[in-house]
Amino acid sequence: MPRPKKNRIVKQPPLYCGFKPLGFQANRLEKICLSLDEFEAIRLADFLGMDHTEAAIEMEISRSTFTRLIRKSRRKIAEFIISGKILTIEGGNIHFKGNIIKCSDCGHMFNINFYAEFTNCPSCGSKNLIDMAGNFGHGQCCRRRNRKEK
């Protein structure tokens, strides 16, 4: 029986979780899913330019695991671009380090840690806020994990 997958660490939820080719109806396209840890690997290696060792430390995984993860991620992104599929970002064994809150009224987004209390948008004062980590089913588990690490 294989060993259970260790949770990987993701800095914060992605701002966008779906992409599709222009000019095509979504219901006619095949879907490909990029997990949250694969998204984080792309963000660290390709967007921020970290080497594999640094990125692996950031995600709390081994360098060889990170290398496999980035290879798998790049393959999926290439398939999305070349084959014209819908790319979604969802799932995976992860915990977020931080969170993003988005105001539904003015669109303002702000980074918070999991201990920060928020009730109103700092920009417009609205109470109509979206917890981005909550959209991925996280929040309570990440709060507990981050509390243990302090």
Is 105 found in the same domain as 87?
A: no
Give the 3-state secondary structure of residue 145.
helix
pLDDT at position 145: 59
- Please give the tally of structural domains in the chain: 2
**Higher-confidence residue: 42 or 94?**
42
**117-141 pLDDT, tens digit each:** 778 888 898 999 888 887 776 656 6
Is 59 found in the same domain as 12?
A: yes
pLDDT at position 61: 93
Residue 94 near residue 8 (C-beta atoms within 8 A): yes
Full-model pTM: 0.82
Q: Does residue 3 belong to any structural domain of this protein?
A: no
pLDDT at position 139: 59
Is 62 found in the same domain as 13?
A: yes
Alpha helices in 18-62 (DSSP H): 36-42, 52-59
Is 87 found in the same domain as 13?
A: yes
Say how many C-beta atoms besides its own lie within 10 A of residue 113's C-beta: 12
